[in-house]
Structure 1
Amino acid sequence: MKALVLKMFGSARNLQYTDIKKPEIEDNEVLIKLHYSGIGQWDIFEREGGYDKLLNMKSSFPYILGSEGSGTIVSVGKKVEKFHVGDQVIGVNFLSKNGGFYAEYSAVPETSVYLKPNNLSEIEASSISGVGLTAYRGIVDVLKVKNNESVLIFGASGGVGLIATQIAKSLGCHVYAIASHQDGVDYLRKLGVEHVVDGRNSDLNSLLKKFNQECFDSAFFTAGGELADLLCSKVKNKGRIAYPMGISELSYENSNVELLGYYADIDENLIKRFERWIYVANPKINVEQVFELNDGINAHKRLEEHYVG
């Protein structure tokens, strides 16, 4: 099969489009012929060998990036019960021993696959799991938001932030979103977010004035930095602040506020709950650009630029 592979960790120039052996499935796996693969910021960290260092792994080469994608099942293992050849599915599999989704085919455990909802296109389906499962874990399981609570979301126009915003809204929260650039603000307003501002070149007082809100029940951060630390101070006593591990560390300290860094810890239960939410909430996914598989270098360069979603 064709795949985009790394012969060594490093820059985007190390990505090579080449022929590689198609993966063989085990009894509990399915083989997906991929139509689209998602690409995200975490792929840069993986490409540079960050996870190998962080998790003390010794990956072998050639190495295939990519933790999610959508396509059609072309083969099923002997013990697979839920899926059949021809099913249109979404796969999500982080740091897979079989290689990732930057390829024509991917072997994925049955527990890491779910049927593509009809309310998502194949392109949207390929890009919802990495950001969506991270957002769902943070908003539902870590923050445990409740109806009518005020939730501040910092980095709301990024991939995780857009889904986190929609999850919080679907649970009846009053969302206060801080986006990046005017196109991010415009997209969030199209989603029905009433309170949204551009956080670039804004100070704390101007943001709070635009929101007409002095403090929040909880907050969700997809980025750190000076403004993020200042915003932490506007979470109520006994409030909660959540952020995915891997962003710039928040330096805010207040014993009356819970500061909760977390990993997505993707498992079958989380996937099932997120799948149900997709059917009910009908979320919107913004895929800024689509690249051919053989154009991976430019795709990774694009990750370094501004985009929405």
Structure 2
Amino acid sequence: MRFRPLRSTPTSSPTLAMVAEPPADMRAVVIDRTGPPEVLHEASSPVPRPVMTELLVRVVAAGINPIDAKTRSGKGLSQAIAGYPAVLGFDFSGVVVQSPYESHPFPAGTEVFGMLPFPRTGGSYAEYAVVPTLSVARKPTSLSHVEAAGVPLAALTAWGLVVETAHAHEGQRMLIHAGSGGVGHFAVQLANYFGAHVTATGSARNASWLRELGATTVIDYTSTRFEDVVADVDVVIDLVGNVHSDTGTRSLGVIRPGGLYIVVPTHSFPGYAEAAAEAGVRTTGYRVVPDGSALATVGRLLDSGAIQVFVDRVFDLAEAADAHALLEEGHTRGKIVLRVSDD
């Protein structure tokens, strides 16, 4: 048998891995040092270049999270920042500009949302960002980029707490502190979706809204001590801790023997493991995992209407300092988002 030699077939079509050559520089909000919100300022920064299986994304909107403000102030992840100026931000929604190869699951032009590996890379307060393939998902079609940017870190944290750690199920009794915040409003919805009986703490102005999200009972923390009205719960998701109150310590007293206490804010309850053991309950901290597959599941829940994201305020990128100041006031309902570029 004789084989014919293989011949290459030339093509004149452009590569599918890139929409257009990105510019050399981009607009970004950076910090040159840690400090108050005013250290955030706009600057020109080099556009990052993806390597291996990373995506280059044009950022349309960036979500703001408490960890951003803590890091900016000198706490949080500030010790891991390799150098300045630094671009903050984990959450983004945008459009893929460059993907690793033509048949990649997220080709150029795909609308995506996800989490950046800040501070290992630059953050999302910029017009372009580099992100690992496994940390993104297709943007829910029912959401704008501004809405989608408010989802990733908060919703993935809530998913990890409610679904993967607490294993929410029918009839489970769950107390969620700070239910109206970014993580809290997702946690309330997910717990209710999976059948748990949800009690949430929040302010009086958010009580009716929290009930709409799925909380059966809402406790106004400004006027009522939660331990006076709730007891023998299976799980407490503590998004407050002991930093500004004794919420964590008091929570241990309302959990049934062998129940679960999950504390989320870093360093908010020193000695929580020992205190939980003494109270006869199980305990764990939690760190969010930037899992694109879990985020895709969250996206389907959003598109189906089973859960929703609430964006409280939207600021332009140059107003990042004002956005941080508002976040630190501590009365935000849902999420704060930066509008970075045109849709």
Name the TM-score, length of structure 2 as normaliser: 0.81
* 2:281 counterpart of 1:257: yes
* 2:66 counterpart of 1:60: no
Q: How many residues align?
A: 301
Q: What is the aligned-residue identity percentage? A: 28
Name the counterpart of 2:332: 307
Stretch moving more, 291-300 or 7-16 = 7-16
Gaps of 5+ in 1: none
* 2:25 counterpart of 1:8: no
Structure-2 change in CA distance of 1:39 and 1:192 (3 Å): same
Alignment of 1:47-196 (within 5 A): 47-52=72-77, 57-78=80-101, 81-179=104-202, 181-196=203-218
Gaps of 5+ in 2: 1-25, 335-343
Name the counterpart of 1:197: 219
Stretch moving more, 275-284 or 23-32 = 275-284
Paired letter, 1:22 = V
Q: Report the secondary structure of 2:313's partner residue.
A: coil
User: In 1, Cα distance between the equivalents of 2:223 and 2:248?
Assistant: 13
Name the TM-score, length of structure 1 as normaliser: 0.89
User: In 2, Cα distance between the equivalents of 1:80 and 1:101?
Assistant: 26
Stretch moving more, 275-284 or 299-308 = 275-284
The C-alpha deviation readout for 1:126-185, integer Å capped at 9, x for no partner, is: 011111111111111222222211111111111111111111111111111111x22321
Question: 1:50 Cα deviation (Å)?
Answer: 2.4
* 2:233 counterpart of 1:216: yes
The C-alpha deviation readout for 1:72-128, integer Å capped at 9, x for no partner, is: 112212387211111111021131433100011111111111101123232221011
Name the counterpart of 2:246: 226
Q: 1:43 aligns with which of 58, 65, 68?
A: 68
Contact conserved, 1:68 with 1:101, CA < 8 A, in 2? yes
Q: Report the secondary structure of 2:209's partner residue.
A: helix
| Structure exhibiting the larger radius of gyration computed from Cα positions | 2
Name the counterpart of 2:312: 288
| Alpha-carbon RMSD | 2.2
Contact conserved, 1:203 with 1:227, CA < 8 A, in 2? no
Stretch moving more, 291-300 or 213-222 = 213-222
User: In 2, Cα distance between the equivalents of 1:105 and 1:192?
Assistant: 37
Name the counterpart of 2:20: none
User: In 1, Cα distance between the equivalents of 2:118 and 2:267?
Assistant: 19
